């Protein structure tokens, strides 16, 4: 085996987004493309020699090939040891847990999360730092800087490593350990939740659940936890085999892309509880029988009931949410007398708060919730948290949510996604709204009066870093909100997200249909932004 130095030239499109570098598989398959970005990661890391890294992905198409390339490049760049997931599989939350447990230098996660997979789908790569969380902007900017000047990369000439069996290997001077990542993740979950209590719940003949892994990464984890450790009946976990194309589906746990699960939970004789997770296992959708739990409400309910759960009985130091997430959790934090933070979208912004013990639980409206046990979103953690709450309270999911609304009021909340719209039109829409900043303040739209308009910026309370242009907020005098934001996770065109929120404290009005309750705000959003004109779309692609 010998190290080969390969001459290369920069690509001009390797700037990481909110969750690393995501592109179509065909882009990553270009000669030198993956190698350039991987070498740029290694070039940006100080004192990498002899250190331990974690490596794995969500099993999508090109995952195995990429892992073999990265292993050979890591060996050529003097990495000391790599822990790689069995069969190349490593959920994002499990990767974070393994980085932290082994005090690794960092990790490389191969995933495009909830984006479609397969040969014509998407692929992604991101670097996580030693706390287990996504690299902060100063790290991703350093990686990007190297991608713009790279002229060569190093790779070890060797045969591929067998990823299909647990074991230890040598690649040059580098040690490789192929590990079953399900085991340490299961042990971590068992330390946080009352498995005996949940097992008793699942053993009852009158309580049933359905867990949909969408042919994505959580299948092995969910089978081991729910059907193995917790004794749920065989078949509880569906679509459990990870497939390179996610079975032709879209691994995004929402009402549209997880429709098969929604149909099960809204059918006659539906299970009592249902949940789905996404491509890399960091997102979750929670359903009760004939009842959908909005992710913003889920965050609020988890926070309000954390004292009922073993790993959180000693209380929370604080809670954080992304700016577009509804304000439902804000009132919980106020009642509990704990810290509250509003951050930009992107889990990396929670890392400093968690490391400084300023927050314990964090969440995003995009079906992501987690806590200080790792530094990533964690889909199965949220599922277990809900089951623990249900087991303690002895109430249905619907009863728990509605009693929460009675105590705190209800935030009617919805997100309208316009996917793969023309980038030029999306940018024109944003500029059109910005041109109205000076005239919107104080303007009345039916029952709503604009209090202020801004483009959200955030100053990190821990390190003082400033992040700007994170989404346009239109805040009304009654604290209702319309938010416009271009997402950074798509790979084709642009994704426009429109967030709508209205607070309703009156219990007699809390059972309204969400879209009907928000209809006036939906019309105002169209009037201000001219969405149909700029996107050339009559309706959203996805409504959640």
Least confident of 84-93, 200-209, 364-373: 200-209
DSSP structure class, residue 247: G
Residue 205 has pLDDT above 90, yes or no: no
Res 382 pLDDT > 90: yes
- Cα(379)–Cα(240) distance, rounded to whole angstroms? 15
* Distance, CA of 359 to chain centre: 18
Digit-coded pLDDT (tens) for 246-264: 999 889 999 989 999 999 9
CA 218 to the chain's CA centroid: 13
| Cβ contact 345:497 at 8 Å | no
Contact indicator for 66, 34 with CB cutoff of 8 Å = yes
* Beta-carbon contacts of residue 235 (< 8 Å; ≥ 6 apart): none
Per-residue pLDDT tens digits for 288-335: 999 999 999 999 999 999 999 999 999 999 999 999 999 999 999 999
Number of helices (H) and strands (E), helices first, in the chain? 19, 27
Q: How far is CA 377 from CA 66, 94, 96, 415, in A?
A: 24, 10, 9, 19
Question: What is the rounded CA–CA span in Å between residue 122 and residue 337?
Answer: 43
What is the mean predicted confidence (pLDDT) over 424-429?
94
- For residue 488, the model assigns a pLDDT of 59
490 pLDDT more than 60: no
pLDDT of residue 346: 87
Q: What is the pLDDT of residue 261?
A: 97
Structure tokens given for 449: 């009066």
Please, which residues bridge with residue 476 across strands? 450
Query: Bridge partners of 126?
Result: 109
Percent of the chain with pLDDT over 70: 99
pLDDT digits (tens, 9 = 90+) for 410-419: 999 999 999 9
pLDDT at 489 over 70: no
| pLDDT higher than threshold 60 for residue 464 | yes
How far is the C-alpha of 480 from the C-alpha of 187, rounded, in Å?
Answer: 42
pLDDT band with cut points at 50, 70 and 90 for residue 20: very high
* CA contacts within 13 A on the Cβ side of 120: 3
Measured in whole angstroms, the distance separating CA 541 from the mean position of its chain's CA atoms is 19
Would you place residue 110 in the very low, low, confident or very high pLDDT band (cuts 50, 70, 90)? very high
Q: Round the average pLDDT of the chain to a whole number and report it.
A: 95
Q: For position 60, what pLDDT does the model report?
A: 96
Contact 67, 86 (CB under 8 A): no
Q: Is the pLDDT of residue 25 over 80?
A: yes
Burial environment of residue 260 by CB neighbours within 10 A (0 to 12, 13 to 18, 19 or more): middle
- pLDDT on residue 18: 75
Residues contacting 218, CB < 8 A, separation 6+: 91, 277, 281, 379, 380
**Cα–Cα dist 112/490, whole Å:** 9
Task: Give me the residue label for tokens 């988890």.
Answer: 302
CATH topology of 2-180 equal to that of 185-408? yes
In this structure, the number of other CB atoms found within 10 A of the CB of residue 80 comes to 16
Token pair in block for residue 320: 């954080």
Q: What are phi and psi of 75, to 5 degrees?
A: -60, -40
Mean pLDDT, rounded, for 179-194: 97
CB 27 within 8 A of CB 14: no
Q: Under 8 Å CB-to-CB from 46, ≥6 apart: which residues?
A: none
Is the CATH number 2.60.120.260 carried by domain 2-180? no
Enumerate the domain spans of the chain: 2-180, 185-408, 410-543
Catalytic residue selected from 40, 113, 370, 371: 113
Residues 6+ apart with CB under 8 A from 381: 93, 189, 192, 369, 370, 371, 373
What percent helix, strand, coil does the chain show, rounded to 5?
35, 25, 40
Q: Is the pLDDT of residue 491 over 90?
A: no
1 pLDDT band, cuts 50/70/90, is: confident
pLDDT at position 542: 87
Mean pLDDT over 131-146 rounds to 94
Q: Is 113 annotated in the active site?
A: yes
Tokens coding 193: 């939740």
Q: Which CATH superfamily is domain 185-408 in?
A: Alpha-D-Glucose-1,6-Bisphosphate, subunit A, domain 3 (3.40.120.10)
Report the predicted TM-score, pTM, of the whole model to 2 decimal places: 0.94
Residue 165 pLDDT greater than 60, yes or no: yes
Residue range 231-255: mean pLDDT, rounded: 94
Tell me which residue has tokens 């490049």.
Answer: 73
The three-state secondary structure class of 501 is strand
CB 61 within 8 A of CB 121: yes
Q: Which residue has the tokens 């081991």?
A: 224
Residue 204: which pLDDT band, with cuts at 50, 70 and 90? confident
Dmax (CA) of the chain: 73
- Report yes or no: 94 and 282 within 8 Å, Cβ to Cβ: no
3-state DSSP assignment of residue 228: helix
The CATH class for the domain spanning 410-543 reads alpha beta
């Amino acid at each position: 085996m010998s190290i080969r130095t390969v001459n290369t030239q920069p690509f001009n499109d390797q700037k990481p987004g909110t969750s690393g570098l995501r592109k179509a598989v065909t882009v990553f398959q270009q000669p030198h493309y993956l190698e350039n970005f991987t070498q740029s990661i290694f070039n940006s890391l100080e004192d990498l020699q002899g250190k331990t890294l974690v490596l794995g992905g969500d099993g999508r198409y090109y995952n195995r090939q990429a892992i073999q390339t990265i292993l050979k490049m890591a060996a050529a760049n003097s990495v000391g040891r790599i822990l790689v997931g069995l069969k190349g599989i490593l959920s994002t939350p499990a990767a974070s847990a393994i980085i932290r447990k082994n005090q690794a230098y960092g990790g490389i996660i191969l995933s495009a999360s909830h984006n479609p997979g397969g040969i014509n789908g998407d692929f992604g790569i991101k670097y996580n730092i030693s706390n287990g969380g996504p690299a902060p902007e100063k790290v991703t900017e350093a990686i990007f800087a190297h991608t713009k000047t790279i002229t060569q990369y190093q790779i070890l000439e060797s045969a591929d490593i067998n990823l299909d069996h647990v074991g230890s290997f040598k690649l040059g001077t580098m040690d490789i350990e192929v590990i079953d990542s399900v085991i340490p993740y299961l042990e971590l979950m068992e330390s946080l939740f009352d498995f005996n209590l949940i097992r008793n719940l699942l053993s009852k003949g009158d309580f049933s659940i359905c867990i949909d892994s969408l042919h994505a990464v959580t299948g092995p984890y969910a089978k081991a936890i729910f059907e193995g450790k917790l004794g749920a009946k065989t078949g509880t976990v569906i679509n459990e085999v990870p497939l390179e194309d996610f079975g032709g589906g879209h691994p995004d746990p929402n009402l549209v892309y997880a429709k098969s699960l929604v149909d099960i939970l809204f059918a006659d004789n539906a299970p009592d509880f249902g949940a789905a997770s996404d491509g890399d296992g960091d997102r979750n959708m929670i359903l009760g029988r004939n009842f959908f739990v909005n992710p913003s409400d889920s965050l609020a309910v988890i926070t309000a009931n954390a004292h009922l759960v073993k790993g959180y009985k000693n209380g929370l130091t604080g809670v954080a949410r992304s700016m577009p997430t509804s304000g439902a959790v804000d009132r919980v934090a106020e009642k509990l007398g704990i810290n509250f933070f509003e951050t930009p979208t992107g889990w990396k912004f929670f890392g400093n708060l968690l490391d400084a013990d300023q927050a314990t639980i964090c969440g995003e409206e995009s079906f992501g919730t987690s806590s200080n046990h790792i530094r990533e979103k964690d889909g199965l953690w949220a599922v277990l948290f809900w089951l623990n709450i249900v087991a303690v309270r002895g109430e249905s999911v619907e009863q728990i949510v509605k009693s929460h609304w009675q105590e705190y009021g209800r935030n009617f909340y919805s997100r309208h996604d316009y996917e793969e719209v023309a980038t030029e039109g999306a940018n024109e829409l944003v500029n059109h709204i910005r041109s109205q900043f000076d005239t919107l303040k104080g303007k009345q739209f039916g029952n709503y009066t604009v209090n202020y308009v801004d483009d959200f910026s955030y100053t990190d309370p821990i390190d003082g870093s400033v992040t700007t242009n994170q989404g346009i907020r239109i805040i009304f005098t009654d604290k209702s909100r319309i938010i416009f934001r271009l997402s950074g996770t798509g790979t084709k065109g642009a994704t426009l997200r429109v967030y709508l929120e209205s607070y309703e404290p009156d219990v007699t009005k809390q059972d309204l249909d969400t879209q009907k309750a928000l209809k006036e705000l939906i019309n105002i959003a169209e009037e201000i932004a001219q969405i149909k004109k700029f996107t050339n779309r009559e309706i959203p692609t996805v409504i959640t």
